[in-house]
Amino acid sequence: MRIDIVSAVPELLKSPLQESIVRRAQEKGLAEIHVHNLRDYAHDKHKTIDDTPYGGGSGMILKPEPIFECVEALKAQRMYDEVVFMSPEGERLDQKLANELSLKQNLVILCGHYKGVDERVREAIVTREISIGDYVLTGGELAAAVLVDAVVRLIPGVLNASESALSDSFQDGLLGYPEYTRPAEFRGMKVPDELLSGDHERIGQWREEQRLRRTKERRTDLLESQREQE
């Protein structure tokens, strides 16, 4: 999968894309991630990429020309499945959407500022708007990093068998089960007997029960939406 991220503050994206599993995915050649600085597409010597809003109001608006030119230059080289705009007004990111995007070949991700991009960008080049939650970030970069992380780890071959995404919370609509490692007793707190039993059937059953219990306790909405789908 190739991901092109278009940003006015590319520095914000550096470390989240260069560590851990996202880094390994790139090293394995399973994900190719390019960050494009919007200022490289500005025309004047001050590299202006924003301007005041028509009709007045506070804040600056990202100008359409640099964004159009950057995305057009990318589209001239390959077909893109989606041009995603990170926005708190978009559809909410969840595991289902991450799964869907992990099957795409080429994605553009545009990072903007809240209420801060010329509407013609959204109308003419954006195919999908995605929000990471009902709160407002300073810009779309941190949201883009979250999206890329959630998607890239699901690309087939990125995780090894022991890290398999199949056991992730949410992957089948339930939260995860409690995990323990050595020691078997720590400050008087004991690892449940089931996990020490060596009986795989018993362990599997215990884990399923725990997932259900935890989901009931914390996220009844997940169980309800699953019931609606059945």
Residues of the shown chain interacting with ligand ADE in the complex, contacts defined by CB under 6 A: 86-88, 114, 131-133, 135-137, 140, 143
Q: Which is nearer to ligand ADE, 7 or 131 (CB)?
A: 131
- Rounded Cα distance, 158 and 154, in Å: 7
Q: Which is nearer to ligand ADE, 67 or 174 (CB)?
A: 67
Q: Which is nearer to ligand ADE, 64 or 116 (CB)?
A: 116
Q: Tell me how far, at minimum, the Cβ of 91 lies from ligand ADE, in Å.
A: 10
Beta strands in the chain, from DSSP E residues, in sequence order: 2-7, 32-37, 50-51, 61-62, 82-92, 106-111, 128-131, 185-186, 189-190
Q: Tell me how far, at minimum, the Cβ of 86 lies from ligand ADE, in Å.
A: 4
Q: Tell me how far, at minimum, the Cβ of 206 lies from ligand ADE, in Å.
A: 37
The answer to whether 58 touches 85, Cβ cutoff 8 Å, is no
Q: Tell me how far, at minimum, the Cβ of 136 lies from ligand ADE, in Å.
A: 5
The answer to whether 130 touches 97, Cβ cutoff 8 Å, is yes
Q: Which is nearer to ligand ADE, 138 or 164 (CB)?
A: 138
Residue entry with tokens 């992380």? 149
Beta bridge partners of 6: 36, 110
**What single-letter DSSP state applies at residue 164?**
-
Residue entry with tokens 């339930």? 174
Q: Tell me how far, at minimum, the Cβ of 142 lies from ligand ADE, in Å.
A: 8
Q: Amino acid identity, residue 214? A: R
Backbone conformation region of residue 163, classed left if phi is above 0, alpha if psi is from -120 to 50, else beta:
alpha
* Span between the terminal Cα atoms of the chain, in Å: 32
Q: Which of 65, 41, 42 is nearest to 117 (CA)?
A: 65
Q: Which is nearer to ligand ADE, 98 or 159 (CB)?
A: 98
Question: What residue is closest to ligand ADE based on CB?
Answer: 143
Q: Which is nearer to ligand ADE, 66 or 140 (CB)?
A: 140
Q: Tell me how far, at minimum, the Cβ of 143 lies from ligand ADE, in Å.
A: 3
